[in-house]
Each structure stands twice: as structure tokens, then as C-alpha cells.
Amino acid sequence: MTDEDDGKAKKHPLTFKRKDDETNAQLYARGQQWVGAVQYRQRRYIALAELDIALRSGKHVQNRTLQTHLTEAQYTAMQAAWEQQQLIRSSSHKKPTAIKYYEAELNRVQLQDTKAKDLHKRGHTDGAAAIEELCRTQTQALVAQLVTAITADPELQQWLDRPIPANIGIVSVVDLPRCITSNSKSSVVVRKSKSAIKLEAVQAAMQELEQEER
């Protein structure tokens, strides 16, 4: 494709401005390389769309097929999501010491938070305010310790039901992450099948391609 193409065959022709000292052959080769990249994305999107249909219809899609059409990062994320689901379902995995400590401290903070709310209901505002301040201090310290532990061992994150809040200064007890094995009403753990994990990975990959086209 060159600047001279009149684009009669297409409503919106692709054009490439010639670079300084660029020959016709070089301009054509550059255009073909760009078009090839577009065609690759289109073929990949179609392949992903077919996998999306297969998974939503209940068909089995092998991991090696997904590995072919997902990027390395996308496939790794899918595997990590499934590993977390296995941790949720299995009692045979030993819970890390750092997570046990976090759960124990979180329980203490929750008890303080419940006590503060009870004092508020009974009209003891000064006592409630004092305990609330204690809760904020304990919460900030607890989150800081958790961040330190995960920085040292990133795999600890898979034991939590949500990311650590970015602004720990305004975090409430309800917002704190729970262990994925917790039965707390505040837990946001969602149990998913392996097929659902695969479908989410495929749909996320499709969305990434769509965003690249914009």
C-alpha cells in the first residue's frame, strides 16, 4: 500500500506516509508488515471467539489449546486463578504461618469493632470513639504487616479473597481481605469451576484485543 493507492476498493484505505529516502519496495514491505500484524490479531480474535462459544456451550477445551491462543501472561494468570480455587476447596494445603497470624489479628480487630458499635448503640459515644481510634491504629498496623509479608512471599496473595486496599488510612474492618477459607460474611470468595476460569481467561484476552483496536 502506498500514498498513490486511490482506495477505491475500500471505504477507508490504509495509507502509509513515505519516510525520507524510503524506496517503493521499503514502503511496501513496511505496509505488509503492519497489515500482517492486523491480520494476526484478527485471526487470533476469531480463534478466541470460537473457544468462547465452545466453553459457554459446555464443551471441554484442553489447556494446550488455550496455551496456543492465550499470551504467556494470560495463561499464567488463568493457572493462578485455578490454583486459588483448589486452595479454597482443599483442606490438605497447609495454611502459611503469616496467613494464620493475620487471621488471628483480624479477629481481634473485628471484636474491637463490634464492641465499638455496641457502645454506640448504648449511647457511650466517648468510649466508642476511643475504641474506634484503636481499631484504626490496629488496622493500619495489620495491613502494613500483611504488605511486608506478601512483599517477601508474593504467593501469600493467593490465600486472600481480594487485593490489599491501596489507601490503608481509610480502610474499615469490613474492607480488609479475608482468607479464602474463611466463612465470614465479609468474605468475597467466589467458587468457580475450571471451565468458568477458562472462559474468563478467554473473554479477558478478547477484551484486550478489542482495546488494541481502539
Residue 6's pLDDT is: 43
Q: How many CB atoms lie within 10 A of CB 52?
A: 17
Determine, yes or no, domain membership for 102: yes
- Residue 21 zone, left/alpha/beta (φ > 0; ψ -120 to 50; rest): left
SS3 214: coil
pLDDT under 70 in the chain at which residues? 1-18, 22, 24-38, 91-93, 168-169, 214
Question: pTM of this prediction?
Answer: 0.58
**CA-to-CA separations, 22 to 16, 19, 125, 129, in angstroms, rounded:** 11, 5, 78, 73
Domain count for the chain, please give it. 2
How many CA atoms are closer than 13 Å to the CA of 81, on its beta-carbon side? 18
Phi-psi region of 58 (alpha: psi -120 to 50; beta: other; left: phi over 0): left
- Given a contact cutoff of 8 angstroms between Cβ atoms, the answer to whether 105 and 142 are in contact is yes
208 lies in some domain: yes
> Considering the domain boundaries, does residue 9 fall inside one?
no
Task: Quote the pLDDT of residue 54.
Answer: 94
Name the nearest CA neighbour of 167 among 147, 148, 149: 147
Residue 16 lies in a domain: no
Torsional class of 189: left (φ above 0), alpha (ψ -120 to 50), beta (otherwise): beta
- Domain identity same for 48 and 71: yes
Is residue 166, in this structure, part of any structural domain at all? yes
> Comparing C-alpha atoms, which of 96, 105, 103 is closest to residue 156?
96
> Do 86 and 107 fall into the same domain?
no
Does residue 11 fall inside a structural domain? no
Question: What residue type is assigned to position 30 of the chain?
Answer: R
Contacts of range 102-109, beta carbons closer than 8 Å, 24 or more positions apart: 102/142, 102/145, 102/146, 102/149, 102/179, 103/179, 103/182, 105/138, 105/142, 105/145, 106/142, 106/173, 106/176, 106/178, 108/138, 109/135, 109/138, 109/139, 109/142, 109/173, 109/176
**What CA–CA distance (Å, rounded) separates 174 from 171?**
8
Q: How far apart are CA 55 and CA 201, in angstroms?
A: 11
Please check whether residue 129 lies inside any domain of the structure.
yes
200, 173 Cβ separation under 8 angstroms? no
Host domain of residue 57: 24-90+195-213
Cell of 110: 473485628
Residue 157 domain-assigned (yes or no):
yes
